Each structure stands twice: as C-alpha cells, then as structure tokens.
Amino acid sequence: MTSLLRILPLPALALFLMTSCQPEESTLAAASPPAVAGPPQAAKKAHTLTSHGKARQDDYFWLRERDNPDVIAHLEAENAWLMERTAHTDTLQEELFEEIKGRIKQDDRSVPEKEGDWYYYSRFEPGQQYRIHCRRAAGEDGPTGAEQILLDVNQLAAGHDYYSASRLTVSPDGNLLCFAEDTRGRRIPTLRFKDLANDSMLADSISGTSGNAAWANDNRTLFYTIKDAGTLRSKSILRHKIGEPVAQDTLVFDETDETFYCSIRRSRSGSYLFINSSQTLSNEVRFLDADDPKGEWKMIQPRRRKLEYSVEHAGGFFLVRTNHQAENFRLMRTPTDDPGIRKWQEMIPHRPDVLLSGFQVFRDFLVLSERSNAQTRLRVMEWSGSNDHAVVFEEDAYVVRARGNRNFDSDTLRFSYQSMTTPPTIYDYRVADRSRELRKQDEVLGGFDSDNYRSERLWIEARDQTSVPVTLVYHKERAGGGPAPLLLYGYGSYGASMDPSFSATRLSLLDRGFIYAIAHVRGGQELGRAWYEDGKLLNKQNTFSDFIDVAQALIAQGRTSSDRLFAQGGSAGGLLMGAVLNQAPELWRGVVAQVPFVDVITTMEDDSIPLTTFEYDEWGNPADLAYFNTMMAYSPYDNVGAYDYPDILVTTGLEDSQVQYWEPAKWVARLRELKSGDGEVLFRCQMAAGHGGSSGRFRRYLETALVYAFLLDRVPPQS
C-alpha cells in the first residue's frame, strides 16, 4: 500500500514526487521515493560563535538561511529519506491512520453555549476537515429557531495547504464577528470581519496581528494586538473603528520593554477592557470603561519585579489573583476607583499545599481552579462566602476545568472532566443545590469500553529524594504481564502541568500492548509554584534528572525494559528529549522529539528571533556567565557526542515561529556526524506547517500514524 505521507500534500517534495515526476498515465499508487544512497548529510561550513571569550564551532549554522535553495533542497532530501526508511511501515501507517480516524464521530458537535441573545456551537460534517461555526436564537428553554452559519471554515480553507480560523469574537450586540485567519502556520494571523446580520464579509482586514482582539460596548470599536515583525513579540495595542481605514487606527499602548508582551481582553461582566503586559516574573494591567472606547486607560498596579497578578471584575470590585507575599497565589479584591496594591484586601488566603491556578467570576458566585498533590480541582462559593465546597470525583487521577461559561449571569457552572480512561465529558453544575447534569461525553467509535483500561498514579523517588508523580494507563490485559513496551512522555517547563487527560488516539498503542506514562517532572506546576521554580533557570537539570530517574524506576519495577522503553516530548519537551538522550542514551529503544528546542545557547543569545527576549526568566540570559554555564551543561545541540544513541525521530515545520526549523535540522545533522553505533536518526520537516503541525481535523493524525509506526516497528518480540 502507498504511504499516506505520499498521498496528502504535506511535505513539498512528496507533492512534487506525486505530480511533476510521474508520467501522465501513472496513478498515485505507483509513486515511489527516489533511490537514496544514504541519509542526507548537510554540508559543513565553518562558523564560529564566541561567548564569554570561548569559541563554539557551529558548522551547520547556515541551515538557518530560510531563503537559501540549498537549505530547502536539504529539507526536502530529509523528507525523501524519511519516506524511504519508513516505506516498510506504509501498510501499518495506513492501518493506524484509518483506525484513529475511525474512532472519531464524523458529525460531531459541541454543546451550545449561551451568550447574549444566542446559543453558539460548532459542528463537523462527515469527511470534512474543518469546523462549521453556528448559532441559534436563545429561547426560554434553550436554542430555538433556524441555524445561522457564522463561518464554514471548510469553504475558507479551500485552496490552502494550511488554514486556521481561530479566536472568533462576536460584538456585544451579536451583529459583527471578528476572527483570526492564518494561511501559513506562522501564527501571524490577519483579522477579518463579518456582518452577521447581512451574512457578508466586511472590507476591514488587519494583518500582522497576534489574533488577540476585544470589542468595546459601542459594537463598532475593536482593540487588537500587533506583533513585532522580527521577534513576533506582541508589542502594541491599537484601536480600530469598523469601516474606517486601518491606516488611521490609533495606538493606545506600546510595550517598549522587549522582555514583555501584551494582550487585551474584556472582563466577564462586560464592563471593562484590560490590557495585560507581562513576562515570566511580572506583569501590569491597565483598564478602560468598555462604554468609553476613546477614554483614558488607567493602571491597576505598576509592574514590580517578581510581582504577578491577574484581574477580573464582579460585584463592583476588581478581583486580583496574585503572588504578592503568596508563592502559590491568593485572591484579593480592590475598589475600581483606587485599585493599587495598597488597597488590596484578602479574600482567599495563601496555602502552602494548594496552588490557586485561576478563577472565574459569575454574577452570584465564584469558581476557583486549584491544584493540590498533583491533582486539579474546582472550588465553588457564593459571594457571601457561603456554600463553599469542592466539586467531588471518584477517580484517583483526572482533569477538571471550568469550560466556556460565556454567560456571566448564569446560575450554572459548566465544566469538563476527563481522565486517562474517561473521555472528555461536559457537565452543567447548579451551584445552589450542587446537582450536575451530563451534557455530553465524547463518543469514541470502534467498540471503545473504558472498563478495558486501567490508570495508576505512582510516586517515584528521584536522586535527591524528591517524590515525582507519574501517571500510567494501559489495557487491562497488560496487568502483571511482565516488561511491556512503554512510552514515557514529559515536558517540564513554563509551569505547564501535564495533566492525565484522555486520548482516543493513544488507544492504538494501548491496544497493541503499550503502557503510556506521563512523568510530571519539575518545571511544571503539578505540585505548586515551588515545583516550577525547582525546574527552571539554574535548577533546570532537575527536569532532566527527574525524567531519567522515573525511567530507571519503571525498569526496576519490571514494568518495562530498556529495549522496550521509548520517550516522547515536544517543543520545550523536545529539549527534555535532547538532554536525556545525551545524559542517558542507553536507557531508550527509541525517542520522538517534536518541534524540539535544542539549540539553547545560540537561540537565547539571539534577541532578533521570536521568543528570546521575554524568556530570559525561564532559561536565563546567557550573557550572565552562571546561566551560560548552566545552559551549556544541558543544551542538546552543544552536548552531542560519540554516544550509542537509540533510534530517533525528529519532526518540525518550516513555518514554526516558536522553535525555528533550523534548530532540529542542525541537531539532526550533528547527531549523524558525531554519533556512534547503529541508531538511526530520521527527520521530517512539514513544508507548509508551523509549531502546531498540519491544519485540518484529520491531517494531524498522519504524523501520529508515523510516530506510532516508528515505535511499534522497534518493539522486540517477547522472549
């Protein structure tokens, strides 16, 4: 069978091979990759970088020349080599892709969400790649009347290799729609507008944005964020009046500190607009009366180093979540006419064992999102402080989040619940009597039965006696079956917690005998803010050590063995993969690194590329020798050596704006140059995609099928 990688237009070379290189009478099934004598070897071109008086030789620095035909030719050759080396798994890839796609309900739709006079929802039609966004009028008992299609993204995407329509924002009166259109995947979308009353697109079009926008209450004025063309930092807020030339838009805020980025949003009450200017360790918020779009923006609290806060509005006050004298955050309130820090009054105190990760306000009650002991939870209370309680669940490891809740005046909380064995489930929760109504559980086709799977939460002791939480899921037939193939996933950066969520896609591995495990390593916030602080900057090595220690413990427990152990991570999790490959190459049978951040020093020394300047407080500024030495000790690219690496699959996108494609391209070239042993390094660069991969409902699963085939192909037979 022909590989699906060859019959869909993802890598440019694959499309070229399918069309230009084939005789007219040939069929797609006859397409085959060109004969290649060996893996592509990038030309070495001497380039010296100097830091703190030390020279670093980077022979592959030239691969960052995006417009160089030799670079494109090299990436296309990598794609051709990947196709040749994985050709023997074509049938398996196709089987996996069809299996994954077959679990998806073709005509699925979301639960309608009330906002103003309408209920909003989205739906899919069988065989289509993109959502159709719709609404129906709000009646007394729910949606009523005919459906109105706001956007059929399938129509908009026609003719594009990549297409995304996101951040749909409707004006308060429900008549105008703003959305962010991206046709490259580089996350620099254009804002487009539609008159919903007349079902017609407007001439207004604003390019170079972040996609972030908010309406004023006059229903004609929109505030939006512009990105810096070079660094892609969201740096400016402008005001636009519908129907007026974009060239006349007014700058209302410009963030001049290149370590900060800005955004704008409406309060849930609809009374205010907020500009948030933030970086890793501090931020400041300005506010404006949403009824007065040309009015004066005022400050909540000026920025201070290491002061973080976020703001909402309810009951005549601003509500402030802050780390002020509270490592795990606390909740304050302050008057709207004098909101500075000296007027902040405590509502929810700091707790050393509970992280206040967020909150959501309603007219009559408050919802707190918390983390305790590596577990999410929702806490609900009325504004009087009465009826204070947590929403209770039975499983040991799960994910619960407030979901949607567009209607500020609602007496019902909508939340989502899932675990590694329970598909995403939507509930409406009546706060007054604590009753819940099941609104939807994602339907998993193909005979899925949650009783066939088991999930566990383990605590594994790291080398410094810190207990690291680990969550496992596997088919019940694996219980007690001896060492199994195991895929260990990790991230461990930015305080992002890797929660034990459900994946219908993952069933293809579990049903073939895999255990899937998440190592909740330091650098996330599963155990509170200290868990994050202990896995960043000068403490970054803890992230890598935790992952390695978890892997070794899983082997020692007999759950897997080094010839059956695989690892996977993406972006900053790709950094994790690169580091553990250098520090413990013998542990793994195979490693998957997706859009990996692996050239740490060179990237963090270059303030002209995206993400560098406002990430100094995450990784450190290498201009400081202490941070430079710490980064140099773990940077995957700088520590490639003559090691017996396992098989490695690396993926990226040419349009990636977060981790530039050249980082993994250079890393692969250096790995091939310096490694010893028989481990194979494969590389795929999607030529029409960015950090998030392909667009479309099903195309993304082509890469999943490739990854799973890579793993399954390397599982040794049971002895």
> Which residues have a catalytic role annotated?
571, 656, 691
CA angle, 189 as apex, 490 and 272 as ends, to 5°?
90
Within 36-140, residue ranges assigned H as helices are: 69-85, 90-102
What is the C-alpha to C-alpha distance for residues 135 and 140, in angstroms, rounded to an integer? 16
8 A C-beta contact, residue 319 and residue 359: yes
Element (H, E) at 604: helix 600-604
CA angle, 104 as apex, 98 and 108 as ends, to 5°?
145
Order the strands of the 283-289 sheet from edge to edge.
261-266, 272-278, 283-289, 298-301
Radius of gyration of the CA atoms of the chain, in A: 26
8 A C-beta contact, residue 492 and residue 522: yes
8 A C-beta contact, residue 273 and residue 267: yes
CA distances from 624 to 51, 68, 537, 616, 620 (A): 10, 33, 12, 10, 8
The pair of three-digit structure tokens given for residue 381, joined into one six-digit string: 């209370």
What is the C-alpha to C-alpha distance for residues 132 and 134, in angstroms, rounded to an integer? 6
8 A C-beta contact, residue 629 and residue 600: no
Whose structure tokens read 């009353």? 197
- Output 32-37 pairs: Cβ under 8 A, ≥24 positions apart: 32/87, 33/6, 33/80, 33/83, 33/84, 33/87, 34/80, 34/84, 35/84, 36/77, 36/80, 36/81, 36/84
Mapped onto helix, strand or coil, the DSSP state of residue 266 is: strand
Pairing mode, if any, of strands 309-314 and 113-115? unpaired
- Name residues whose C-beta falls within 8 Å of residue 33's C-beta, 6 or more positions apart in sequence: 6, 17, 80, 83, 84, 87
CA angle, 528 as apex, 349 and 488 as ends, to 5°?
160
Nearest residue to 520 via CA among 538, 539, 499 = 499
What is the C-alpha to C-alpha distance for residues 502 and 506, in angstroms, rounded to an integer? 8
- Name residues whose C-beta falls within 8 Å of residue 289's C-beta, 6 or more positions apart in sequence: 271, 272, 295
Nearest residue to 459 via CA among 473, 471, 476, 445 = 471
CA distances from 404 to 124, 173, 269, 317 (A): 19, 19, 14, 23
